Amino acid sequence: MNITAHAPRRFTIKHILLSLTLVTALFLRCAAPLQGAENSMDLEQKVIGGPAIADLIAYGYRNNQTVAAQRQTWRMEIERYRLESGYPDPQVMVTYFTDPIETRLGPQDWNATLTQQIPFPGKLTKKGAIVATDAKIARLGLDKAVRDMIVSIRESYHELLYIQAAKKIAARNNELLEQFRKISETSYAEDHATLADVVKAQAQVGQLRYDILLLEELEQTEKTKLNTLLNRDPHAVIGRLSGTTISPVVYNLEEIYQLAQKNSEEIQSADLQYRKSKIKKKLAGYGFLPDFKVGVFYAEIGDPDVLSPPKDAGRDAVGVQAGMTIPLWFGKNKSGLDRAGAGTEKALALKNETINRTNAGIREMFFRLRNAQRLVSLYEQELLPQAVRSLESMETWQREGQGSFADLLEIQATVYNFQLSLARAQADYGKFLARLERLCGRGLTSIEPTGNQAEGTVP
């Protein structure tokens, strides 16, 4: 009686739990695209409001079309594995005789043959290893596409930072020059300045206005370049960028060379190409070995048109087939083996050339990076402070009627140029650091963490 009373209750709870599970699964499945769309909207708002480099990189990873194309290339190589390492499709041959062939047991109306080719053992394994290596190369291609996209975004970001900083510098100096121009015109009217001083002040104001106009055009051009990297409309809004700090490189040159050997996608890809060429050479050796073929044969036999048919008249024919290819043309097979050997030597030479080219690029970028760092220190700590102090002193002398107005304009132009040079050196440092990190395949401003690292660089 208890069982009868509780059985419906257990049945109900079970179905309630099952229903809740299905509803939860359906909700999570529907919520995932919504969450992705929400994240995309958040990134769009950050880009419009004023993005950091991390926001632009995240946006580019989702939308950059070069990365998307390379991602599908990797997927294509993965799907190739089963195509290349699987057995060939079996073949079926059916023959129908319009004029049946007479045999002792009766006329043969039709027959069918089913055959399967079987490559020599190990041949498909080598083909699969080649495709697996191609898939790894495609994955490195995806890593390289992401890396190049990140470097391009960083370069464009620092260039845009420079342009925006230059606009602020130009605007401040334009206000100062306007004051100097008015002072020169007043001093000229009072015979305290020459006409040349007035003309020089007006010329510098005109040049600065041209610089401001040029910087406006450069800013729009750089924003268009950045928008194309993000797969946005060329005229889409990008908010004002936040400045970045100069992070020193924590590795010396020899350590950077070693990091490139380990992490550079180009070097890893060249090494995989060399390994693939050696597998191809082993596969070429299978040209001297036969492939096999097995099959079954069936023939339908009709009733013989004779007065005294044999006891087994009309019995259908069934047979088993076996065969193999004969690698008779040794010259052709040897040429294939020699060709594969030449490919191995070529791949090794290309690998060494890639290493040499990468090392040369690292040395060049390392020099440019250190030079930009020295220029930042030079302008920031010495030249610009000295020029500003000279300008302040000259302004004081000018108010006291002791200094030359032409000298004041000259020093002001020097301060303006030093300010632009400092902003240019800071932007160059960020760009050269991005290029150097592209060559060595990892960041250089922090020590590499210890422990097992996940293979690949794509998030």
Q: What is the pLDDT of residues 323-354, one digit of tens each?
A: 999 998 888 889 999 999 999 999 999 999 99
What pLDDT was estimated at residue 458?
33
Residues 6+ apart with CB under 8 A from 46: 52, 55
Check: pTM over 0.75? Answer yes or no: yes
Lowest mean pLDDT among 88-102, 240-254, 308-322: 308-322
- Share above pLDDT 70 across residues of the chain, in percent, rounded to a whole number: 81
Residue type for position 338: D
pLDDT digits (tens, 9 = 90+) for 263-284: 999 999 999 999 999 999 999 9
- Average pLDDT of the chain is 83
What pLDDT was estimated at residue 193?
58
The whole-number average pLDDT for the span 296-325 is 82
Residues 6+ apart with CB under 8 A from 64: 145, 149, 229, 230, 231
pLDDT digits (tens, 9 = 90+) for 94-149: 998 888 877 777 788 888 999 999 999 999 999 999 999 999 999 999 999 999 99
Q: Does the pLDDT at position 422 exceed 70?
A: yes
- Residue 313: name the closest of 11, 38, 107, 163 by CA: 107
Q: Does the pLDDT at position 409 exceed 80?
A: no
- What is the rounded CA–CA span in Å between residue 140 and residue 70? 10
- Hey, what are 250's tokens? 């924590």
